[in-house]
Amino acid sequence: MLDAIKYRGDNASHALAPEAQAPTQAQRMSPQSLKVACSNCNLRELCMPLGLSTDELNRIDDLVALRRKIKRGVALFRNGDTFTSLFAIRTGVFKTCVATEDGRDQVTGFQMAGEIIGLDGIVNDHHTCDAVALEDAEVCVMPFNRIEELSREVNALQHHVHKIMSREIVREHGVMLLLGSMRAEERLAAFLLNLVQRLHARGFSQSELTLRMTREEIGSYLGMKLETVSRTFSKFVEDGTVEVKQRHIRILNTDALKRIVNPQVCL
Amino acid sequence: MLDAIKYRGDNASHALAPEAQAPTQAQRMSPQSLKVACSNCNLRELCMPLGLSTDELNRIDDLVALRRKIKRGVALFRNGDTFTSLFAIRTGVFKTCVATEDGRDQVTGFQMAGEIIGLDGIVNDHHTCDAVALEDAEVCVMPFNRIEELSREVNALQHHVHKIMSREIVREHGVMLLLGSMRAEERLAAFLLNLVQRLHARGFSQSELTLRMTREEIGSYLGMKLETVSRTFSKFVEDGTVEVKQRHIRILNTDALKRIVNPQVCL
DNA sequence: CGACACCTTGAAGAGGTTCAAGAAATGTGG
DNA sequence: CCACATTTCTTGAACCTCTTCAAGGTGTCG
């Protein structure tokens, strides 16, 4: 499903241990290169189209108006906020969530480096969900009118924007499938496999990960109560499928997880 | 949520009783106007941007390569099919559904006149879901490369495409909320309210509708078994909230349904 | 008119929730 | 740096909603 992204970060530990992160490339460079520049960004392959000419690349650098740092727990945008920009995540993990009028809410996704958030705001010029940083984070702010302008001129960018939105639609189909037809164990197994796969695509381990979200947030995303999440983790531990130390997870048996998600095919 | 569309069809009964439908405008017109033309289409306000110049309108007419009739039960496209075009529904209702490898499937939506399907195919040039007609239907086929071409030149079209995709993302957020945090009664009530609202936006009754899908399909969409759908309908009937005669539904107490969906706010 | 798909209803059972209590980790202020 | 408050996580027990299995009814179409 997810494109096979070959990404080698210069500091592959940053998302697992961001607090211990070395200075980023931009921070280390000379003043003039402090200018925001997609063409230099080590996440380029994740959020920008491939195969651009140098001219096109230079123009795309103008897409990012500024970078913004978001402290853990703070919202990048909230339901009702005026929509102006899309955001490309540079570091950190976000959750997005929607709410009913009577206060229940639902996490609709967890987003990490290279992913784009804010697409929900385009329809009505207002955001319809909250995006909250689950750890200190940094995003590139891309004013949407600039995106539209530039994508009229750079075909690859235009198509890239369409693909990003389509990918989000397809991702949500997957979540609907999960919420509509899977049982607790299957949901959590699918969740873990998805997370670890995305982290792996970013240069991290295939078997170890640190959750950036609470059991309650996982539960909200997966449509189950936090107690059920906890119990299901415990069951996986009993079965010897994973090791759980609070938020640190080590997957001991990937195949077992896959079998849980897809009983028929894998058995 | 949904735009307040003021649409007056010339034959307001067609979606409720399509088999008794009078000839469409195009069918009645002289040969030269048989050419597919958005500028003439009585659904234009639903699927095209507003406020175009006549020049722009004429160019948009070229978007639709052809119209295609789909018999009830037949797929417009299937998971795995090569993606080439988006489809604007002229008449009829479709369901879209995704499937796991081991055969379980999940209805991801029901689409009706003026709505656009096929967006899932953009990311990987292949469709990832099936779109099946629930009754005899007709769609406008819009090759996606033409859409991209033209939307580089017509800003309103470009923005319209973005809005359509964003709207779909927001809609799916709503479904996730439903699947993740509502109970059976709430889901079915929300489903009925949504359906009747969309039908009303198309010129139909606010209180009566004919379901085009089976209990099983409703159940799949809402993440519940067909028996539970049936039982929940029966409960609504007992409570005097709706009248159910097979697939014909009459809503007797809209407020009661709203209260079921939003207990706190409405009580 | 008979076959088939679809819908309804009942009874038993499973899976997940709710409520409750305690343990572990994390953050804060002195 | 430690004590305390707070948040987060785990586990148990009772309960409830929805599912499963089963049977019969209704409607539709060739």
CATH class of A6-174: mainly beta
B144 neighbors B122 (Cβ within 8 angstroms)? yes
The percentage of chain A sitting over the pLDDT mark of 70, rounded to a whole number, equals 85
Confidence tier at A2 by pLDDT (50, 70, 90):
very low
Count of beta carbons in the 10 Å neighbourhood of residue B17: 10
Pairing relation of β-strands A94-99 and A130-133?
A: antiparallel
Protein CA A256 to sugar C1' D25 (Å): 45
Confidence tier at A9 by pLDDT (50, 70, 90):
very low
Contacts of B65 (CB under 8 A, 6+ apart): B36, B85, B141, B142, B143, B146
Q: What is the pLDDT of residue B8?
A: 37
For chain B, give the mean pLDDT. Answer: 86
Q: What is the pLDDT of residue B176?
A: 98
Pick the residue from chain B with its C-alpha nearest to A1: B124
For residue A116, report the phi and psi dihedrals to the nearest 5 degrees. -110, 130
What is the arrangement of strands in the sheet containing A248-251, beginning at the earlier edge strand? A208-210, A248-251, A242-245
**Helices and strands per DSSP (H, E), number in chain B:** 10, 11
Q: What is the pLDDT of residues A130-169, one digit of tens each?
A: 999 999 999 999 999 999 999 999 999 999 999 999 999 9
Give the nucleotide with minimal C1' distance to the Cα of B247: C7
Compute chain A's Rg from CA coordinates. Answer: 19
For residue A80, report the phi and psi dihedrals to the nearest 5 degrees. 100, -25
Tokens of A63: 């897409």
Give the nucleotide with minimal C1' distance to the Cα of A234: D10
Name residue, tokens 């809609």: B171
Confidence tier at A265 by pLDDT (50, 70, 90):
low
Protein CA B9 to sugar C1' C14 (Å): 50
Nearest CA-CA partner of A87 in A14, A134, A3, A147: A147
Q: What is the pLDDT of residue B264?
A: 65
Nearest CA-CA partner of A93 in A133, A63, A143: A133
Contacts of B108 (CB under 8 A, 6+ apart): A173, A176, A177, B96, B97, B98, B129, B172, B175, B221
The percentage of chain B sitting over the pLDDT mark of 90, rounded to a whole number, equals 70
C-beta atoms of B173 and A129 within 8 A? yes
Exposure string of B228-253, with b = 16+ CB inside 10 Å and e = fewer, is bbeebbeebeeeebbeeeeeebebee
The answer to whether B6-174 and B182-261 have equal CATH topology is: no
Q: What is the pLDDT of residue B56?
A: 87
Q: What is the pLDDT of residues B203-233, one digit of tens each?
A: 999 999 999 999 999 999 999 999 999 999 9
Confidence tier at B129 by pLDDT (50, 70, 90):
very high
How near does any CA of chain A get to the CA of B213, in Å? 17
Mean pLDDT of A198-217: 95
Q: What is the pLDDT of residues B85-122, one digit of tens each?
A: 999 999 999 999 999 888 888 999 999 999 999 999 99
Pairing relation of β-strands B137-143 and B105-111?
A: unpaired
**DSSP H or E stretch at residue B133:** strand B130-133
| Least confident window among B38-47, B57-66, B247-256 | B38-47
Indicate if the pLDDT at residue A253 is higher than 90: yes
Indicate if the pLDDT at residue B30 is higher than 70: no
Q: What is the pLDDT of residue B250?
A: 97
B247 neighbors B218 (Cβ within 8 angstroms)? no
Q: What is the pLDDT of residues A171-205, one digit of tens each?
A: 999 999 999 999 999 999 999 999 999 999 999 99
Alpha-carbon gap, residue B208 to A249, rounded angstroms: 52
Mean pLDDT of B77-83: 97
Q: What is the pLDDT of residue A113?
A: 95
Tokens of A194: 């998805």
Q: Which nucleotides of strand C are protein-proximal, with an atom < 7 A from a CB? A: 6-11, 15-20, 24-26
C-beta atoms of A223 and B181 within 8 A? yes
The percentage of chain B sitting over the pLDDT mark of 70, rounded to a whole number, equals 85
Give the three-class secondary structure for B113: coil
| Least confident window among A57-61, A125-129, B169-173 | A57-61
For the whole model, what pTM was predicted? Answer: 0.88
Pick the residue from chain B with its C-alpha nearest to A109: B173
Sort out which chain A residues have CB atoms less than 8 A from B152's CB and list them.
Answer: 151-153, 155, 158
C-beta atoms of B176 and A98 within 8 A? yes
Mean pLDDT of B69-82: 96
Q: What is the pLDDT of residue B103?
A: 83
Confidence tier at A23 by pLDDT (50, 70, 90):
very low
Alpha-carbon gap, residue B119 to B97, rounded angstroms: 13
Q: What is the pLDDT of residues B163-191, one digit of tens each?
A: 999 999 999 999 999 999 999 999 999 99
How near does any CA of chain A get to the CA of B224, in Å? 7
Mean pLDDT of B6-16: 33
The CATH number given to B182-261 is: 1.10.10.10
Residue B110 C-alpha from the chain's centroid = 5
Mean pLDDT of A94-108: 92
Alpha-carbon gap, residue A198 to A212, rounded angstroms: 14
Sort out which chain A residues have CB atoms less than 8 A from B83's CB and list them.
Answer: none
How near does any CA of chain B get to the CA of A24, in Å? 31
Q: What is the pLDDT of residue A41?
A: 81
Alpha-carbon gap, residue B132 to B153, rounded angstroms: 33
Q: What is the pLDDT of residue A49?
A: 84
Of B105, B163, B223, the CB nearest to A123: B163
For residue A11, report the phi and psi dihedrals to the nearest 5 degrees. -140, 80
C-beta atoms of B106 and A180 within 8 A? yes
Task: Give the residue ranges with Cβ < 7 A from strand D.
Answer: A 211, 214-216, 226-227, 229-231, 233-234, 244, 246-247; B 183-185, 223-225, 227-228, 231, 246
Indicate if the pLDDT at residue A24 is higher than 70: no
Query: B21 exposed, middle or buried (CB, 10 Å; 0-12, 13-18, 19+)?
Result: middle
Of A101, A120, A148, the CB nearest to B265: A101
Indicate if the pLDDT at residue B54 is higher than 60: yes
Indicate if the pLDDT at residue A55 is higher than 90: no
Q: What is the pLDDT of residue A16?
A: 26
What are the extents of the domains in chain B? Answer: 6-174, 182-261
Mean pLDDT of B10-17: 30
B64 neighbors B141 (Cβ within 8 angstroms)? yes
